[in-house]
Amino acid sequence: MSENIQDKKDSGLVQKPATDQKSNDKKPKFNIAWVYGLIAISLLGVFFFQTDSGPKEVMWNKFEKEMLKAGDVLKIEVVNNKRAEIFIKPERLNKEIYSDLNTAKKNTLSKQGPQYFFTIGSVEAFEKRIEEAQQDFTYDQKVDVSFVERNNHFDTIINWLIFPLLLIGVWLFIFRRMAGPNGAGGQLFNIGKSRAKIFDKETAEVKVDFKDVAGLEEAKVEIMEIVDFLKNPIKYTQLGGKIPKGALLVGPPGTGKTLLAKAVAGEAHVPFFSMSGSDFVEMFVGVGASRVRDLFKQAKEKAPCIIFIDEIDAIGRARGKNPNWGANDERENTLNQLLTEMDGFGTNSGVIILAATNRADILDRALLRAGRFDRQIHVELPDLNERKDIFKVHLRPLQKLGTDVHPEFLAKQTPGFSGADIANVTNEAALIAARKEKQLVEKQDFLDAIDRIVGGLEKKNKIISFEEKKTIAYHEAGHATVSWILEHANPLIKVTIVPRGQALGAAWYLPEERQLTTKEQMLDEMCAILGGRAAEELFFGKISTGALNDLEKVTKQAYAMVSYFGMSERIGNVSFYDSSGQNEYSFGKPYSEETAKAIDEETKSIIDKAYIRAKELLKKLEVQHNALGELLLEKEVLFSEDLERILGPRPNGKTPHSEDESLNRTAPMTEIEAKPKVEKEENPN
């Protein structure tokens, strides 16, 4: 019996995975009410029947003295040799002693009786007692005693119906509870089922279409083709072409891979199974593979359709070379099953698999070979124009925008931002404007939002001593000075000594958007980064831990120059970069000890040279640098205008404000108005 019910439930789940979630949300509630109702009704019934209906129990003595000897008894029926039921003569019922029979019974039931009963030990003893009690009675007065066999319907019902029903109810209740979406048992019962969410015509949850995807023009073209494959496959197959099985969306986080997939779902009007790679993974062995199987089974039933696996790297990571490494066995089984399933159906079966990852390089090669994820669609960080479009999309929901907000300007201010970052910027800007009790979201709010997202929260109340403050100011002034006069360094927008995130101060650059970086650009950049520590050393004679982030950046860059980009003469045009990612499990380095030493030395030499250069530049510009540092201490934020005033125009003329009229800001910004309290307290003079 239990198996049947479970089977039914399971098959229901198989057929309707999409509504699974919803129905499970509602059903248990219904069930709880139902079961509770059942219990309540049966309890009530028991209570009602046993107390209100049927005869009242009476003690032998009372019966003998007050009823039998008084001649009130009409007859006695012994039921099943257990229970003696007493029928009182109707005409005697209005006697005082019968007034405890309740009124309802006096009127109807009790007229016929039995009104009383008592339980007898044995038939023999009962007969003897009755006989003794009626000793003095005449023959006519003697009471009839009849024996009846009676099936107690009530007991029968209780025994055969209500208790099993109750049991089933309780059992069902527990079962549902366990199988529900939150119950531990739910996972147990459905462990091998795929966790895919399905979106199709009935579930109008996906409202994204290609119109909502800004930027990503090339990716859209590619993916639209896939939609077309599904919509009219004949167009492609009649020429003998085969419809591809899958496409891999590759790109950094936040660039809209999932959005693109959702747009496909919204556009294709075919069922769309969505699932994350990590959904396959469970601690039980074989579950991942079973889920893959189930997913494909469901998909094939609904073909044509799309399967979308987000974060496929969770299962698609390259399999280890050494099979005894263990630990990853389960993941490998899942991957193997996926590979098999992708090969298992014919090319034209109408199931197209989309997968998204931000690390295509670590995926197993077998997954990427022709016939599986044939095509890779690269979803890159948006460029200037794409960011502009994305801003336009995200500015739409903002109700009131200041007249000074232009998508072009915002796009220029956000190099390297992903679509998700831009969404974050617009949202943050609206929140900042609301915090300032403004009626409009203005340019300044957007700039503050960008700063916040890049640098983290401003910490104006951080306790910083004057000595530290000065070190920070000179450090930042060092960055500013060096980057200003170096031809290839990134243009500086502003420097600040307002703590933000984990940084105590920062120099803000607006990196040029370029595809290639020359050696000169790298060297100049490193020089500018080292300008901070150089200034500390030169003008304080002390260096601090503050340069940690700077040194980290520089070291990585120098190391990359030597070992990846072939930019050191001693190492030569050699690169140890591994774009295939296939050597992840081999620990040793792909070069000899001597080369390792040479790389280290070259890296150090590059950094040393850049540092010396930075120091020389700063020595030459000591006056300007110190002026900058003092001004920074005073104003806390300096913009490129201030820098130009002190340092003169930049050598290549590339200053952000001269390039872009709209970047001219009306200093001072809010930061200056609210100076940290600490400074005043600690330095009253």
**Greatest Cα pair distance in the chain:** 144
Q: Residue 249 binds which entry of Zn ion, ligand NHX, none, with Cβ cut-offs from 5 to 8 Å by kind?
A: none
Q: Residue 502 binds which entry of Zn ion, ligand NHX, none, with Cβ cut-offs from 5 to 8 Å by kind?
A: ligand NHX
Choose between 332 and 550: whose C-beta lies nearer to ligand NHX: 550
Choose between 110 and 496: whose C-beta lies nearer to ligand NHX: 496
* Strand pairing category for 351-357 and 246-250: parallel
Count Cα neighbours of 69 within 13 Å in the Cβ-side half-sphere.
12
Among 312, 506, 598, 617, binds ligand NHX (CB under 6 A): 506
CB of 11 to ligand NHX, least distance (A): 58
Choose between 88 and 506: whose C-beta lies nearer to ligand NHX: 506
CB of 479 to Zn ion, least distance (A): 6
Among 219, 507, 606, 643, binds ligand NHX (CB under 6 A): 507
Nearest CA to 200 among 324, 332, 16?
16
Q: Residue 506 binds which entry of Zn ion, ligand NHX, none, with Cβ cut-offs from 5 to 8 Å by kind?
A: ligand NHX
Choose between 246 and 532: whose C-beta lies nearer to Zn ion: 532
Choose between 445 and 550: whose C-beta lies nearer to Zn ion: 550
Of 2-10, 307-315, 422-430, 499-507: span binding ligand NHX (CB under 6 A): 499-507
Other CB atoms within a 10 A radius of the CB of residue 140 amount to 5
- List the beta bridge partners of residue 317: 363
- Residue 554 in contact with ligand NHX, rule: CB under 6 A: no
- Residue 324 in contact with ligand NHX, rule: CB under 6 A: no
CB of 642 to ligand NHX, least distance (A): 17
Choose between 108 and 545: whose C-beta lies nearer to ligand NHX: 545
Instruction: Report the sign of the C-alpha dihedral through residues 185, 189, 195, 201, in that order.
Output: negative
- Residue 676 in contact with ligand NHX, rule: CB under 6 A: no
Q: Which residues contact 446 (CB under 8 A, 6 or more apart)?
A: 405, 410, 413, 425, 426, 429
CB of 547 to ligand NHX, least distance (A): 6
CB 252 within 8 A of CB 418: yes
Catalytic one of 311, 330, 442, 476:
476
Residues 455-474 that bind ligand NHX (CB under 6 A): 472
Other CB atoms within a 10 A radius of the CB of residue 501 amount to 13
Measured from each CB, the residue nearest to ligand NHX is 546
- Residue 545 in contact with ligand NHX, rule: CB under 6 A: yes
CB of 432 to ligand NHX, least distance (A): 23
Is 458 marked active-site? no
Among 220, 291, 394, 479, binds ligand NHX (CB under 6 A): 479
Among 502, 518, 664, 670, binds ligand NHX (CB under 6 A): 502
Helix (H, G, I), strand (E, B) or coil at 145: strand
Choose between 410 and 510: whose C-beta lies nearer to ligand NHX: 510
CB of 548 to Zn ion, least distance (A): 9
Q: Which residues contact 428 (CB under 8 A, 6 or more apart)?
A: 449, 452, 453
Give phi and psi for 351, each to the nearest 5: -105, 120
Q: Residue 78 binds which entry of Zn ion, ligand NHX, none, with Cβ cut-offs from 5 to 8 Å by kind?
A: none
CB of 456 to ligand NHX, least distance (A): 11
Q: Which residues contact 186 (CB under 8 A, 6 or more apart)?
A: 24, 178, 179, 180
Q: Residue 256 binds which entry of Zn ion, ligand NHX, none, with Cβ cut-offs from 5 to 8 Å by kind?
A: none
Of 297-305, 406-414, 449-457, 501-509: span binding ligand NHX (CB under 6 A): 501-509
The CA distance from 76 to 99, in Å, is 20
The CA distance from 340 to 345, in Å, is 9
CB 398 within 8 A of CB 426: yes
DSSP assignment string, 435-449: HTT-SSB-HHHHHHH
> Whose structure tokens read 């970052």?
421
Dump strand ranges (E) for 312-456. Answer: 351-357, 375-378
| Site residues for Zn ion per CB under 5 A | 532, 550
Among 477, 504, 522, 617, binds ligand NHX (CB under 6 A): 504
CB 435 within 8 A of CB 481: no
Choose between 72 and 536: whose C-beta lies nearer to ligand NHX: 536
Q: Residue 537 binds which entry of Zn ion, ligand NHX, none, with Cβ cut-offs from 5 to 8 Å by kind?
A: none
- Residue 537 in contact with ligand NHX, rule: CB under 6 A: no
Count of residues of this chain found to bind ligand NHX when the rule CB under 6 A is applied? 16
- Residue 480 in contact with ligand NHX, rule: CB under 6 A: no
- Residue 243 in contact with ligand NHX, rule: CB under 6 A: no
Of 66-74, 360-368, 497-505, 645-653: span binding ligand NHX (CB under 6 A): 497-505
Choose between 485 and 504: whose C-beta lies nearer to ligand NHX: 504
CB of 619 to Zn ion, least distance (A): 19
Count Cα neighbours of 296 within 13 Å in the Cβ-side half-sphere.
21
Q: Residue 372 binds which entry of ligand NHX, Zn ion, none, with Cβ cut-offs from 5 to 8 Å by kind?
A: none
The CA distance from 553 to 567, in Å, is 17
Among 550, 636, 642, 671, binds ligand NHX (CB under 6 A): 550
Q: Residue 472 binds which entry of Zn ion, ligand NHX, none, with Cβ cut-offs from 5 to 8 Å by kind?
A: ligand NHX
Q: Which residues contact 433 (CB under 8 A, 6 or more apart)?
A: 440, 441, 442, 445
- Residue 532 in contact with ligand NHX, rule: CB under 6 A: yes
- List the beta bridge partners of residue 506: 496
The CA distance from 300 to 124, in Å, is 78
Among 145, 166, 503, 543, binds ligand NHX (CB under 6 A): 503
Question: Phi-psi bin for 265: left (phi > 0), alpha (psi -120 to 50), beta?
Answer: alpha
Nearest CA to 621 among 587, 652, 647?
647
Choose between 250 and 526: whose C-beta lies nearer to ligand NHX: 526
Residues 82-141 that bind ligand NHX (CB under 6 A): none
Other CB atoms within a 10 A radius of the CB of residue 441 amount to 24
- List the beta bridge partners of residue 198: 273
> Whose structure tokens read 């208790």?
163
CB of 667 to ligand NHX, least distance (A): 20
Among 277, 288, 304, 546, binds ligand NHX (CB under 6 A): 546
From the number of C-beta atoms within 10 Å of its C-beta (0-12, 13-18, 19+), residue 682 rates as middle
Q: With the CA atoms of 241, 242, 243 and 249 taken in that order, what torsion angle do they form, in degrees rounded to the nearest 10?
A: -100
- Residue 531 in contact with ligand NHX, rule: CB under 6 A: no
Q: Which residues are known to be catalytic?
A: 476
Contact residues for ligand NHX, defined by CB under 6 A: 472, 475-476, 479, 502-507, 532, 545-546, 548-550
